[in-house]
């Protein structure tokens, strides 16, 4: 082997190899860091306490002059058909879709103060209980027609509108959430009075919510019994999805997204996009560096054609003749990926800490995944290089035996 190495090291340029190795190292570090980032981004988006673990998007159909006229002449308001709901549920980044249930009967809210009372018509809606943000609600979210007490959730921005848009300009006192929760009022539904109280404020759903079971039963008894398709849907997205499918679907069908609820989805999509773009750049640099190494090896084989011819005539096998060059590329590949893994382990915490801020309960990823990915990549590149070198020498070997 030593004599073979002496023979075949002709035309091998050490500086060229170093340059290839440095290029490969740079690309490998970028690739490893981006793959590890993707892994942590995914964990951050899916772990339970993560900011972005699940998102809720409320969509409706656009209301135009045409739809308004249609409604006036007795047509349907824009609503979602069963087929459209199924299409949404089939999207890869959608976890669940729930329709808003509306009250199909007249509802009046009554506030009494002594002998005086204020009445107003109002609307009620509901969604399945697991879609309601009940984290700050201290009372059980449950009611039926026998209870005579109905908990109500209102949007947080209603309180903000009152406090900052009305009370402050009228010299009225601003109210805290606690203060509002103390007010009780009555709901007049189907000839019966129900006590009600605002038990919480929702940041997720911009509507006046009551428990779904209560509204379903009330519709059954007091409603007009017409099957109506929902005009709004609430969609729970999967935390680990890029969100592209849902966003594209919404854009394609021109659905309206309430309150920029898709912002989080878009942000997730953008984060995944950036990570994959960086990974693609890293992969490109790695492929380029290792491609140039392959080309260099092929040129070496070509330049040493006479040597291989003579070695073959002496009885050297393909494997024996390939061994020195294969050892050379093995050394380059292993060195590059090992160094890349080590560098990535030291550099990654700078990036990883930022990602993990989104999910404080997550533990930082250890070094093992980086080394595993680097090992796998090393195996792949070594296999490719071995194959290419063997094939090049075999071609010379076969041409010798014409």
Partner 1 sequence: MLTTISLHNLLPKVFVGSRASEAPSDIWHREVVLQQGESVLIEAESGRGKTSLCSFISGLRSDYEGQILYTQSDGSALAVEQSDLLRQHIGILFQEHRLFGELSAVENVMLKSQLTCYATVEEVRRQLERLGLAECMDRPCRTLSLGQQQRVAFVRALCQPCSFLLLDEPISHLDADNADIMSQMVAERQRADSIGLIVTSVGHRFPYQYTRIFKL
Q: Which is nearer to partner 1, 314 or 350 (CB)?
A: 314
Nearer to partner 1 by C-beta: 7 or 109? 7
Least CB distance from residue 400 to partner 1, whole Å?
Answer: 7
Cite the DSSP H helix spans in 187-317: 212-222, 244-253, 263-303, 305-314
Taking the least distance from each CB to partner 1, the nearer of 127 and 396 is 396
Q: Please tell me the distance from the alpha carbon of residue 75 to that of residue 221, in angstroms, as a whole number.
A: 25
Which parts of this chain interact with partner 1 (CB under 8 A)? 3-4, 6-7, 10, 307, 309-310, 313-317, 320, 400-402
CB of 278 to partner 1, least distance (A): 47
According to DSSP, the residues that pair with 108 across neighbouring strands are 121, 188
How far separated are the first and last CA of the chain, in Å rounded? 27
Residue number, 241 or 307, with CB nearest to partner 1:
307
Shortest separation between residue 3's beta carbon and partner 1, angstroms:
5
Q: Which residue has the tokens 């700078």?
A: 350
Q: 233-265 as b/e, with b when 16 or more CB fall inside 10 Å?
A: bbbbbbbbbbbbbbbebbeeeebebbeebbebb
Shortest spacing between CB 33 and partner 1, in angstroms: 44
Q: Which residues pair with 192 in a beta bridge?
A: 189
Measured from the CB atom, is 74 or 315 closer to partner 1?
Answer: 315
Quote the CA–CA distance of 223 and 49 in Å, as a whole number: 40
Output 260 or 315, the one with its CB closest to partner 1. Answer: 315
CB nearer to partner 1: pick between 131 and 325: 325
Closest distance to partner 1 from the beta carbon of 387 (Å):
20
Tell me the sheet residues that pair with 118. Answer: 111
| Smallest distance, partner 1 to C-beta of residue 304, A | 11
Residue 289 contacts residue 20 (beta carbons within 8 Å):
yes
| Minimum CB–partner distance for residue 5 and partner 1 (Å) | 11
Give the Å distances, CA to CA, from 370 to 33, 198, 244, 342.
Answer: 8, 52, 28, 9
List CB contacts of 159: < 8 A, sequence separation 6 or more: 175, 177, 180, 201
Q: Give the nearest distance from C-beta 381 to partner 1 in angstroms.
A: 29
* Count of other CB atoms within 10 angstroms of residue 195: 12
Nearer to partner 1, 10 or 119 (CB): 10
């Amino acid at each position: 082997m030593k004599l073979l190495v002496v023979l075949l090291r002709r035309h091998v340029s050490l500086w060229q190899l170093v340059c290839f190795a440095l290029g490969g190292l740079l690309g490998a570090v970028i690739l490893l860091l981006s793959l590890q980032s993707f892994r942590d981004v995914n964990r951050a988006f899916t772990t339970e306490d993560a900011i972005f673990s699940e998102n809720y998007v409320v969509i409706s159909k656009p209301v135009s002059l045409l739809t308004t006229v249609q409604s006036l002449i007795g047509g349907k308001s824009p609503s979602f058909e069963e087929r459209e709901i199924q299409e949404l549920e089939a999207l890869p980044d959608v976890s669940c879709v729930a329709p808003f249930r509306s009250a199909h009967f007249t509802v009046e809210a009554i506030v009494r103060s002594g002998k005086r009372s204020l009445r107003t018509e109002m609307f009620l809606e509901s969604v399945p209980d697991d879609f309601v943000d009940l984290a700050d609600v201290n009372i059980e979210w449950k009611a039926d027609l026998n209870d005579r007490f109905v908990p109500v959730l209102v949007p947080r921005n209603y309180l903000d509108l009152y406090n900052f848009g009305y009370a402050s300009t009228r010299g009225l006192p601003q109210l805290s959430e606690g203060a509002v929760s103390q007010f009780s009022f009555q709901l007049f539904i189907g000839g019966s009075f129900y006590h009600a109280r605002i038990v919480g404020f929702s940041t997720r759903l911009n509507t006046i919510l009551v428990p779904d079971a209560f509204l379903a039963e009330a519709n059954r008894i007091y409603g007009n019994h017409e099957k109506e398709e929902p005009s709004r849907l609430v969609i729970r997205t999967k935390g680990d999805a890029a969100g592209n499918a849902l966003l594209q679907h919404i854009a394609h069908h021109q659905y309206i997204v309430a309150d920029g609820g898709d912002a989080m989805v878009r942000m997730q999509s953008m984060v995944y996009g950036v990570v994959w773009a960086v990974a693609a750049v890293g992969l490109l640099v790695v492929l380029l560096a290792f491609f140039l190494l392959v080309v260099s090896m092929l040129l070496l084989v070509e330049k040493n054609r006479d040597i291989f011819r003579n070695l073959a005539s002496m009885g050297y096998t393909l494997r024996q003749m390939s061994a020195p060059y294969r050892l050379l590329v093995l050394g380059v590949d292993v060195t590059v990926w090992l160094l890349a893994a080590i560098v990535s382990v030291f550099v990654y915490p700078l990036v990883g800490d930022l990602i993990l801020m989104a999910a404080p309960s997550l533990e930082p990823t250890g070094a093992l995944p980086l080394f595993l990915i680097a090992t796998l990549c090393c195996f792949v590149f070594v296999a490719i290089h071995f194959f290419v070198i063997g094939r090049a020498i075999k071609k010379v070997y076969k041409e010798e035996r014409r």
